[in-house]
Chains A and B, each alone.
Chain A
């Protein structure tokens, strides 16, 4: 699925739909969500006070573990511990934070930029614990960004909200009035239309 391969914004008046599309573009780019979203379908009807949004994400991300970006070893010349050699520094701040919390600061040494030494009594068992340690969860970050995007994108007075997140699909409905079932159903239909890819919906 390409980046934003479908981007549909519907409203009763075309010029207003175009303006809203621009707002959404700005929000997506502000939140750095461009690479995450594959298809997007937004419908807004101010006269009914309802905002509906359906999103298909491009892919799901798995959590990043220490073993994904480093090699671990227990052979440290004269001390007991685990030696971590990092391939990338990208996750170093989170990793150091986790290690400090678990092993205390004096036991976490960093002889050079990409090498960490963890002093512990039982390196053989700790090496597995460290290898499985999760340092980043892009899926969770994406979800929180999507929630932020939904709140920013909806007109601000629309504070009665419904959201649904499953697999790679996100639905958001917001209104100022009591939430109606048919609006939620419509949003699910919108999602169904864009899930197929070659949808028959025509944006302005």
Chain B
């Protein structure tokens, strides 16, 4: 029977944080991301459910904080209609930052021609890039008419769940094509610091978390052959060059895959030939393709029903 892994974030001092990593390895968890910042460190990890109290005790001893991070292992595209002053850095960056606090990996995508009402559109490259993610979150403005009737054109061809944020208090049904609508986060040209703004962001994280739970539930009916975190560990062990990659989160986890930030041409064979103890190579249980993002490698792990053999 497979173990249940729970996503957590540890925030604490860098002093003795190695003990956390050692314990994590001993209990068979996975470290997803480590972000040191001066004397602090943030660790995002998957911990086996039954061993969470052990980790909590250790974190308490080290005077750190262990909190649940429901969006861990989810890559979210935060899409803004353009990269102009109207959307950035607030509120799109504030949204992305708040999602990251719950463990998500976010990519900001500014569309080339997403502005306006009549002319708003999505091009083929953008559509493919967004579809590589687990969730697309569109950050819209304050006008009801635009959100309900015009901007929905930007969802055409998007196959992943679509989340929309905007100013007016609409229900999800009012926005055709959206799987979730979150209000009170419209066009805000200042850093979101007021309590009602932060509350709106908290609501967003909660609702996106619920959406992710639903997606995970769907996936669990026919789950991927391997956990993405397991594949990540094998890549770290078998492709040592990944440790030289300087981009943030060189291996980005998705719900049913990973983005490996190594050049495809040079490394795809090494990735395809990654071996598992069970006797398989990665190429047999996953689709490995060039990513639309730079020249990275995109791995989508096949579902158990697709592989044709049990593992």
> Which of B27-35, B139-147, B297-305 contacts the other chain?
B139-147
Q: Is the CB of A152 within 8 A of B86?
A: yes
Residues of A within 8 A of B143 (CB): 16, 46, 155
Q: B120 interface residue, CB < 8 Å from A?
A: yes
Contact A157 to B120, CB < 8 A, known contacts A20-B142, A26-B190, A152-B85: yes
Count, chain A residues at interface, CB 8 A: 21
Chain A interface main SS type: helix
Within the assembled complex, what's the spacing in Å between the Cα atoms of A158 and B86? 12
Within the assembled complex, what's the spacing in Å between the Cα atoms of A176 and B187? 19
Q: B64 interface residue, CB < 8 Å from A?
A: no
Q: Is the CB of A156 within 8 A of B118?
A: no
Q: A23 interface residue, CB < 8 Å from B?
A: yes
Q: Is the CB of B167 within 8 A of A16?
A: yes
Residues of A within 8 A of B101 (CB): none
A121 to chain B, nearest CB (A): 51
B87 to chain A, nearest CB (A): 8
Count, chain B residues at interface, CB 8 A: 25
Q: A94 interface residue, CB < 8 Å from B?
A: no
Residues of A within 8 A of B145 (CB): 46-47
Residues of A within 8 A of B189 (CB): 23, 26-27, 30, 152
Find the B residue at minimum CB distance from A12: B145
Within the assembled complex, what's the spacing in Å between the Cα atoms of A15 and B188? 14
**B 104-141 to A, binary, CB cutoff 8 A, 1 in contact else 0:** 00000000000111111000000000000000000001
Q: B103 interface residue, CB < 8 Å from A?
A: no
18 example contacts (A-B, Cβ-Cβ < 8 A) are as follows A16-B142, A19-B142, A19-B167, A19-B186, A19-B187, A23-B188, A23-B189, A30-B189, A46-B146, A49-B118, A152-B85, A155-B116, A156-B87, A156-B116, A157-B115, A157-B119, A158-B116, A176-B117
Q: List 17 additional A-B contacts (Cβ < 8 Å) besides A27-B189, A155-B141, A157-B81.
A: A13-B144, A13-B168, A16-B143, A16-B144, A16-B168, A23-B188, A30-B189, A46-B145, A152-B189, A155-B86, A156-B82, A156-B87, A156-B115, A156-B116, A157-B117, A157-B118, A157-B120
- Identify the A interface with B (CB < 8 A): 13, 15-16, 19-20, 22-23, 26-27, 30, 46-47, 49, 152, 155-159, 176-177
- Identify the B interface with A (CB < 8 A): 81-82, 84-87, 115-120, 141-146, 167-168, 186-190
